Copies of this chain bind each other. A is one copy, B any other.
Amino acid sequence: MAGNTFGNIFKLTTFGESHGVAIGGVIDGCPAGVTLDLDAIQAELDRRKPGQSAIVTQRKEPDTVEFYSGIFEGVTTGTPIGFAIKNANQKSKDYSHIKDSYRPSHADYTYDQKYGVRDYRGGGRSSARETASRVVAGAIAKQVLANVKFNAYVSGVGPIKLEKSHDEIDFSLTESNIVRCPDTETAGVMENYIKQIRKEGDTVGGVVSCVISGVPVGLGEPVFDKLHAELGKAMLSINAVKGFEYGSGFAGAELKGSAHNDLFNTDGTTKTNLSGGIQGGISNGMDIYFSVAFKPVATVMQDQETIDKDGNIVTMQGKGRHDPCVVPRAVPIVEAMAALVLADYWLLNRTIKK
């Protein structure tokens, strides 16, 4: 399997299956001399972990990260940071019913076809559990970029939308509710909706938006590795993501140029920000903002007809402890991936002038 490494200079390589011994990773290219707040890293993991509220999966996974290298006396040494998160529950009994069957809209069928062998204990490598390693690395990237702020939040749950633009959000409200929607009233509606969906044994999709503030001008490699292209790839690599847009996004495609252009102030800032903080693939110092669409979790608590390895029709029963809606737990993952991109491009940008 290729593709377990993300980044050019600040690089994360991850390993691990949902029901193996451990997941973890190696961060290569973290600059030397960064004093790390290890509690802040664990706190990010806690924002992602199962069982944290009534509207997420009730699996018990403490998700405690152990660091093996690269940090000496609390400071990064410039050497690779190896880390692991042991899997608390390696028992596979919950998954025996899916050993020979392919769950609809999961990766079971494609993995089996591709590799000819499959770790049938849960999602294996395709499980969103892998994203815990991303959160660890992203939490370090955030500390590398102390002046850049990453604020993701839930802006949609099923048909319910947060009707505020990126510059109207009070980010201090994001963690004030279990949905992570920075609007108390909308959050309440979303929470009730998710609870109702769970009662139905169903799941629902949603949207996570993110605002990155304090970005220096000049980040982004302007042809294939445009800053927004890498952000897009980063987000699309998160499980269940179906779409990415930044700045004016899909709505911008309906506009005229005369309405879309961001006119300059004399200091180089712009009067409007439909560009989303990026022009020609390079950050212009304005807020970067984007939205990420998540499909509903495929595991529903309802019987579904599916096929087994031999192409026989079988009935798959809804079982297990899954999230009715992934977006509350996806918020720290979106921030982590954004931080990985920015840290990497910040370092890359040091090499471009004489």
- A280 to B, closest residue via Cβ: B107
Q: From residue A301, how far is it (CB to closest CB) to chain B in Å?
A: 9
| Cα A349 to Cα B17 with chains together (Å) | 21
A256 at the interface (CB under 8 A from B): yes
A119 to B275, CA, bound (A): 22
Which residues from chain B contact A75 at a C-beta distance below 8 Å?
117
Is the C-beta of A332 less than 8 angstroms from some C-beta in chain B?
no
A15 & B237 in contact (Cβ 8 Å cutoff)? no
A157-198 with Cβ < 8 A to chain B: 158-159, 197
Q: How many copies does the complex hold?
A: 4
Beyond the given A2-B352, A236-B244, please list 14 additional residue pairs across the A-B interface where CB-CB is below 8 A.
A3-B222, A15-B81, A76-B117, A77-B115, A77-B117, A104-B261, A109-B284, A197-B256, A242-B249, A242-B276, A243-B245, A243-B253, A252-B295, A252-B296
Minimum Cβ distance to chain B for residue A4 (Å): 5
Is A149 at the interface (CB under 8 A from chain B)?
no
Complex interface: chain B residues within 8 A of A244 (CB) = 232, 236, 243-245
9 A/B residue pairs, CB under 8 Å, sorted by A? A1-B78, A31-B351, A105-B261, A114-B282, A207-B253, A229-B237, A242-B246, A248-B295, A252-B295
Chain B residue at minimum C-beta to C-beta distance from A114: B218
Closest 5 pairs between A and B when the two form their complex, measured CB to CB:
A107-B280, A3-B225, A3-B221, A15-B82, A243-B245
Contact A222 B126 (CB under 8 A): yes
A39 touches B (CB below 8 Å): no
User: Bound state CA distance, A78 and B29, in angstroms?
Assistant: 23
Closest residue on chain B to residue A219 by CB atoms: B114
Q: Is the CB of B125 within 8 A of A77?
A: yes
A260 at the interface (CB under 8 A from B): yes
Nearest residue in B to A10 (C-beta to C-beta)?
B351
Of A6, A115, A265, A266, most buried by chain B (CB within 10 Å of CB) is A115
Instruction: Say yes or no: A110-B77 contact (C-beta < 8 A), given A6-B224, A243-B245.
Output: no
Q: Considering the complex, give the chain B residue whose CB is closest to the CB of A249.
A: B243
Determine the distance from Cα of A249 to Cα of B118 in the docked complex, in whole angstroms.
28
The reply to whether A253 and B353 form a contact with Cβ atoms under 8 Å apart is: no
Closest Cβ of chain B: how far from A303's Cβ, in Å? Answer: 11
Which B residues are in CB contact (< 8 Å) with A34? 354
Assess the A5–B28 pair: CB atoms within 8 A: yes
The verdict on A288 contacting chain B, using a C-beta distance below 8 Å, is no
Contact among B32, B70, B76, B250 for A242, CB-based, below 8 A: B250
Contact A229 to B236, CB < 8 A, known contacts A23-B69, A242-B247, A250-B293: yes
Assess the A68–B20 pair: CB atoms within 8 A: yes
Q: A296 CA to B113 CA in the complex, in Å?
A: 42
Shortest distance from the beta carbon of A294 to any chain B beta carbon, whole Å: 6
Q: Separation in Å of the A209 CB from the closest CB of chain B? A: 12
A24–B82 contact, CB under 8 A? Answer: yes
- Whether a CB of chain B sits under 8 angstroms from the CB of A50 is no
Chain B residues with CB under 8 Å of A60's CB are none
